[in-house]
Amino acid sequence: MRAVGYQTSLPIENPASLQDIDLPKPTPSDRDILVEIKAISVNPVDTKMRRSALPKKGQWRILGWDAAGTVVGVGADVTDFSVGDEVFYAGALNRSGTNAAFHLVDERLVGRKPRSLNWAEAAALPLTALTAWEMLFDRLDIRRSVPGTAPALLIIGGAGGVGSIAIQLARALTGLTVIATASRPETQDWVTSLGAHYVVDHSLPLAPQIAKLSIGAPGFVFSTTQTDQHLADIVELIAPQGHLGLIDDPAALNALLLKKKSLSLHWEWMFTRSAFETADLSVQGSILNEISRLVDEQQLRSTLGQNLGSITAATLRKAHTLIESGQTKGKIVLEGFPA
């Protein structure tokens, strides 16, 4: 089968950083389903893994987690899917990825593809939708109000993949006022179109901008990027006993700043359930089915930002370059392998 992989961690400008290769087609067993990949999307985790995760000598590492495709085979213990089903999912970090024509995934991590979306639109959603859902409703628990605070949520990095779906989920499923950060006219327009009530500029101090909104101190802050740079501002603007959630990887984080306001700190890593095979592993499949329902009911829309064309080493290198630039809007998707 066709695939894109690497054997050495290299800068993305190097043609050997991602290469077109041919691998044996996998066979499903146990609770795995075999999916023929129709479209994938690229996330920051792809670039991080390419730079740091080496395969065993002489072997290929296949990246990619977001995917939409058709079930073409099932393991003996599969109960929820059959050949021909259209699915979407984000997979597991510790398994071979979706940058391949066929891919094995545990059925418990898989949802039914939204009927109203095409392959590319569906592939844009799983990883970021799971991350946003788990942070908002499992970690921050934004449906439970913080006493005496403004019923508001600040999303730092609102135009990114996770921020783009978090804005929509908060609008669709809660009554919170949603404040998103964006620093360029095109990204400010993007987050507004997704439903943000207010937009503030994260290239400027955040606390004064939040104060000028005159809505009160928000009880929830979801930081998707540059948390260490914004931490002092976050502590100033958030309400006492508020909740701060983050998904990025700050080199250092002074948690003592949170003490005076008794702030709660929440981490979200979408791969926790699959990495540790938690007892509630199947929750991710259930979340994706709920995302699919909300999309088909037109309460959510795809966050596809760019479709770069077919799945090749060249287009994937372009996607990684865009991700590493930090200037993306929404999700980057690739669709179909060349004939």
**Residue 140 domain flag:** no
159 lies in the same domain as 103: no
Last residue of a domain, one of 217, 245, 267: 267
Q: How confident is the model at residue 58 (pLDDT cuts 50, 70, 90)?
A: confident
Dihedrals phi, psi of 241, to nearest 5 degrees: 65, 20
What's the confidence (pLDDT) of residue 30?
97
- Is residue 54 predicted with pLDDT exceeding 90? no
Residue 29: what pLDDT? 97
In a domain, 44, yes or no: yes
Residues 110 and 159 placed together within one structural domain of the fold: no
| The three-state (H, E, C) secondary structure of 282-325, written as one string | CHHHHHHHHHHHHHHCCCCCCCEEEECCCCCHHHHHHHHHHHHH
Characterize the bridge pairing of strands 198-200 and 331-335.
unpaired
Please tell me whether residues 89 and 176 are part of one structural domain.
Answer: no
Q: What is the pLDDT confidence band of residue 330, given thresholds at 50, 70 and 90? A: confident
Is the pTM value of this prediction over 0.75? yes
- Tell me whether residue 21 is in a domain: yes
- What is the count of structural domains for the chain? 2
State mean pLDDT over 80-85: 98
* 3 state DSSP class of 63: coil
Task: State pLDDT tens for residues 190-212.
Answer: 999 999 999 999 999 999 999 99
Q: 320-324: list long-range contacts, CB under 8 Å, 24+ apart.
A: 320/12, 320/17, 320/18, 320/42, 320/46, 320/47, 320/50, 321/12, 321/13, 323/42, 323/43, 323/44, 323/46, 323/47, 324/12, 324/47
Diameter over CA atoms, the chain: 61
Q: How far apart are CA 292 and CA 25, in angstroms?
A: 29
Mean local confidence (pLDDT), 318-327: 91
Q: Flag whether 226 is in a domain.
A: yes
Domain boundary among 267, 293, 321: 267
User: Is the per-residue pLDDT at 103 higher than 90?
Assistant: yes
Average pLDDT, the chain: 96
332 close to 315: Cβ distance less than 8 angstroms: no
Residue 221 CB neighbour total at 10 angstroms: 28
Give the pLDDT confidence score for residue 219 in this predicted structure.
97
Average pLDDT over residues 96-116: 98
Strand partners, 45: none
Picking from 267, 293, 313, the residue at the C-terminal end of a domain is 267
135 part of a folded domain: no
Q: DSSP assignment of 96-150, as one string?
A: --SSBSEEEEEGGGEEEPPTTS-HHHHHTSHHHHHHHHIIIIIIS-TTSPPTTSE
Percent of the chain topping pLDDT 90:
94
Instruction: Kindly list the distances between the CA atom of residue 244 and the CA atoms of 125, 248, 256, 262, 274, in Å, as whole numbers in the listed order.
Output: 24, 13, 13, 11, 24
Report which DSSP code applies to 162: H
Residue 302, domain CATH:
3.90.180.10
pLDDT at residue 74 tops 90: yes
Containing structural domain, residue 287: 2-126+281-335
Q: Nearest CA to 39 among 114, 126, 164, 123?
A: 123
The residues pairing with 220 across neighbouring beta strands, listed in sequence order, are 153, 243
- Number of helical H runs and strand E runs in the chain: 10, 16
Backbone angles phi and psi of 262, in degrees to 5: 50, 50
> Could you tell me if 149 and 111 lie in one domain?
no
Looking at the DSSP bridge assignments, the partners of residue 40 are: 67, 334
CB 154 within 8 A of CB 202: no
- pLDDT category of residue 328 using cuts at 50, 70 and 90: confident
Q: Does some domain include residue 134? A: no
131 inside domain: no
Per-residue pLDDT tens over the stretch 170-190: 999 999 999 999 999 999 999
- CATH classification at residue 215: 3.40.50.720
Give 232-256 pLDDT, tens digit per residue.
999 999 999 999 999 999 999 999 9
Contact 22, 3 (CB under 8 A): yes
Q: What pLDDT, on the 0 to 100 scale, is given for residue 148?
A: 86
Over residues 271-309, the pLDDT tens digits come to: 999 999 999 999 999 999 999 999 999 999 999 999 999
